[in-house]
Structure 1
Amino acid sequence: MIPKYRKAFNESFSEEKYAEFIGELEAGYRPVPIRFAETPIFLPDAFKEKLIDAGAEILRIIKNPDFKAQTENAIPAEWFVPGENDHPHFLAFDFAVCRDQGGELVPRLIELQGFPSLYAFQMHLAETYIKVFQLEDIAHLTPFFNGMDSVSFTELLREVILGPCQPEEVALMDVNAAEQKTAIDFFVTAGILGIPVLSLTDIFQEDKQLFYLKDGQKIRLKRIYNRLIFDEVANQQDLFNQSFDPREELDIEWITHPNWFYRISKYTMPLLKNEFVPETTFVSELQEIPADLENYVLKPLFSFAGMGVIIDVTEQDITDIQQPENWILQRKVNYEPIVQAPDGLIKAEIRLLYLWPDGKEPTLCINLARLSRGKMIGVRYNQDFDWVGGTVGLMESLN
């Protein structure tokens, strides 16, 4: 998207460098079952500013005092967790790269979440692109916003996740944590912060307190950096009997509280009305089914990684829905192919990643990006192509 950098990168690219990049990325970690793109995205200043403005518009709604009341029905009763705090510690906003009627590149919101993403890993990913492809030779590029660098970003990440606790009192938790596709982020995070990575069943409960064993010694947990999506264990709730049930009153602090996963999600989309957000309606609130359904996409509220999304919507798809309050109909956005690969142009999506420390304002820190040739942008839908997959946006540094 910055032509001079794209030209320089493509001219110097080789498959040998890409293999070196993957080797460097995975060095010290087990192989990652995710496809990473051959290239970063070079984000121009004008588009970066539009991304910042788009994110600010969403933040304005989330920070509204009425937001909790507006999203009270977002949390499924069977997954409500007590002890919710005032705000999420993490925010992620996904934007498609599109063109407006005047031909300018613009971001269009696709989804959003009040849940952690690959914060630590994206720093590692950006550093690896810059090192292996020698990008420091063409410009001083950064994946960070707001003048941040790796030091200030790490300090803020530490403040949000650890707070006043010692590293051993905080655990990153997921179900079968080491087996998750995104486990590399878990272990990069652990390396930076010194916290343990635990599976759900590594944790046990005594009264209202939670513990784990380290070298045979019982360690009390005070915070959980939560990476567990409850939908993933809906059919494995016996795991709670082997560990603890998050829906009980517990003496634990959640970073971030699980209820925010539902509050800030596809459920939030119909509440957002601005130029960066496509028209979105709860199916239960449709006055009539649009005649031009080819211009819409149908999404279940409670799903992840694009599962259950219907791209080519029919009237029958809508009338067959059993719980219309749990689905949204969203006007499609037209991704503009803008990243030049050796054999053509590729579509892109940018995820803005915010950290929100207790007692402070949310801060836009870093980004995640994905390249796609298929109908769906997610990594799982692009396994059989090249020059697609997970990547990062690099911008000209202000420093």
Structure 2
Amino acid sequence: MEPQIRKKFNAEFSAEKYQAFLQDIAGDFDYMPTFRIAETPFFIPNSLKAQLKEACDQVVEFIKRPDFKELTQRSIELNTAVPNEDAHTQFLAIDFGICEEDGKLIPKLIEVQGFPSIFNFQFNLFRKIQKYYPFLAEYSPYPEGMDEEKYLQKLNEVVLGEHLPHEVVLLEIEPEKQNTKIDFYYAKRDLGIPVVCVTEVVKEGKRLYYHSAKGEKIRIKRIYNRVIFDELEMRKDLRLDFDFTEDLDVEWAGHPNWYTRISKFILPYLHGPYFIETKLLSELESIPEDLENYVLKPLFSFSGSGVIFHVKKEDVEAVKEKDLYILQKKVHYLPVIQSPDGKVKVEVRLLFLWPEKDENPTWVGNLVRLSRGEMIGVKFNKDKDWVGGSIGLFEKVKS
């Protein structure tokens, strides 16, 4: 894969340039991201790009089914139901492991999320990469028909709706302590919206308010929601002046219900070459003998929490709420990126924005995670280099 551009990039790379690149990112807000940023982008060949698009089209086709809400209503019943749900999600993130099957490269769906990702950070990350590697001018993270200007325009459309930036808040639990804080900083700068903690919101009747840096009380007309209910439920120390389950006079940029509807909950419904054999524990007729070939996952966990990679029979038997767990066949990630000292595995997340008025979601960009460990994720990649978060680049289509 990517032989010529990979050779060029690796030849141009240096530890000094990488440190300057990181310091440039940190310099924007005098803050170094707490997650590891990888040394390299992933150069995605056209053949793989076509497969990723085809796979995403199939996921979107399923989500657009007329009976989708009926099929996923159980996911709402198992979680916190929030009133005033819109017709479709406004954010979509679709994760694929780059794998090998029958000796061929193929993307395999790992996860689907109806929830925002780090849209603003990725937008700015590409700018930084271009700055330090100007020879990548022929490469772009954007699909055909999308560019930097259109990306930001579409993101504004989804986040702001028809409101002024100060009337929209990025809502999170203690945002200053979140691992994705760098994305909040860029969102505040690029979109002009304030970042507000859930404990700072004031409720009067059905309306919500926050106080500006100057002490002004400002009505919240739209919420760019970054709150994960798993975390909120664990934080018994927090005191909120409102409840998400109330009928509030506010719009949602990313209604919370879509986090549970579009999740691992839908994986057992998806079949085809790009999808992994997945079953709800409650629907298992018997426990497979070859459990070493499976992963046990909770349906509604975030950032890989609760996943059991080396599954034993007693792990499956110990699960009490069997309709809240899936057993998923393992896939074999193919190390495809050549680093200076070995090859690296890749997971690609395609990012979609879906304004309320649009019939279909728009593919706007991507993020990439690189791994040398058994799985993608921080705990499997400690003390390793050429791992972490990055971005996928496509060769621009020449007109």
Q: TM-score, normalization: structure 2?
A: 0.96
Unaligned runs of 5+ in 2: none
Whether the 8 Å CA contact 1:338–1:346 is kept in 2: the answer is: yes
The corresponding residue for 1:92 is 93
Equivalent residues in 2 for 1:243-392, closer than 5 Å = 243-360=241-358, 361-392=360-391
Output the amino acid matched with 2:25: L
Is this contact kept in 1: 2:2–2:45, CA < 8 A? yes
Structure 1 pair 238–250 and aligned structure 2 pair: CA distance change class (3 A): farther
1:237 Cα shift?
Answer: 4.4
Letter in 2 for 1:73: R
Is the 2:123–2:148 contact (alpha carbons within 8 Å) kept by the matching residues of 1? yes
Q: Deviations over 1:317-348 (max 9, x none)?
A: 11111111100000111000000011111100
User: What is the rounded CA distance, in whole Å, between the counterparts of 1:100 and 1:77 in structure 2?
Assistant: 35
Paired residues of 1:146 and 1:365 also in contact (CA < 8 A)? no
| Code of the aligned partner of 1:20 | A
Q: How many pairs are equivalent?
A: 395
Local SS of the residue matching 1:172: strand
Aligned partner of 2:165 in structure 1 is 167
Find the residue that maps to 2:301 and give its secondary structure. coil
2:247 and 2:387 mapped to 1: Cα distance? 44
Spell out, residue by residue over 1:41-78, the C-alpha distance to the aligned partner (whole angstroms, 9 max, x if none). 00011100100000000000000011100011112555
Partner Cα separation in structure 1 for residue 49 and residue 24 of structure 2: 28
Separation in 1 of the partners of 2:125 and 2:118? 10
Distance 1:204 1:390 in 2: 36
Residues 381 and 135 (structure 1), Cα distance of their counterparts in 2 relative to 1, 3 Å cut: farther
Shift of 1:236: 2.1
Match of 1:396 in 2: 395
Residue range with higher mean Cα deviation, 314-323 or 347-356? 314-323
Q: What are the ranges of 5 or more consecutive residues in structure 1 without an aligned counterpart? A: none
Give the whole-Å Cα distance in 2 for the aligned partners of 1:301 and 1:398: 39
How far apart, CA to CA, are the structure 1 residues paired with 2:128 and 2:135? 10
**Contact 1:280-1:328 at 8 Å conserved across structures:** yes
The 1:77–1:50 alpha-carbon spacing in structure 2 relative to 1, beyond 3 Å, is: closer
Give the root-mean-square deviation of aligned CA atoms. Answer: 1.3
Kept after mapping to 2: 8 A contact 1:297/1:309? yes
Contact 1:123 1:143 (8 Å CA) reproduced: no
What is the SS of the residue equivalent to 1:110? strand
Aligned partners of 1:146 and 1:364 also within 8 Å:
no
Contact 1:379 1:390 in 2 (8 A): no
Helix, strand or coil for the counterpart of 1:95? strand
Percentage identity across paired residues of the two chains = 47
In the alignment, the residues of structure 2 paired with residue 359 and residue 274 of structure 1 have an alpha-carbon distance, to the nearest angstrom, of 30
- Counterpart code for 2:4: K
* Distance in 1 between residues matched to 2:348 and 2:79, nearest whole Å: 32
Cα distance between partner residues in 2 of 1:348 and 1:254: 33
User: Secondary structure at 1:58's aligned position in 2?
Assistant: helix
Match of 1:18 in 2: 18
Partner of 2:75: 74
| SS at structure 1 position matched to 2:328 | strand
Q: Using the alignment, how far apart are the partners of 2:286 and 2:189 within structure 1? A: 53
Confirm whether residue 213 of structure 1 aligns to residue 211 of structure 2: yes
| C-alpha distance in 2 between matches for 1:285 and 1:387 | 40
Q: Which residue of 1 aligns with 2:118?
A: 118
Q: CA deviation at 1:380?
A: 4.5
Residue identity opposite 1:114 in structure 2:
G
- Counterparts of 1:313 and 1:172, CA distance in 2: 38
Alignment check: 8 A CA contact 1:98 1:108 kept: yes
Aligned partner of 1:27 in structure 2 is: 27
Is contact 2:79-2:260 (8 Å) kept?
no
- Tell whether the 8 Å contact from 2:293 to 2:329 is kept in structure 1 after alignment: yes
Q: Deviations over 1:266-312 (max 9, x none)?
A: 11100111210110000010011112111111101121111111111
Partner Cα distance (1:198, 1:359) in 2: 27
> Are the aligned partners of 1:347 and 1:372 in contact in 2 as well (CA < 8 Å)?
yes
Pairing of 1:38-187 with structure 2 (within 5 A):
38-77=39-78, 79-101=80-102, 103-136=103-136, 139-187=137-185
2:25 and 2:32 in contact (8 A); partners too: no
| CA distance, structure 1, for counterparts of residue 351 and residue 63 of structure 2 | 15
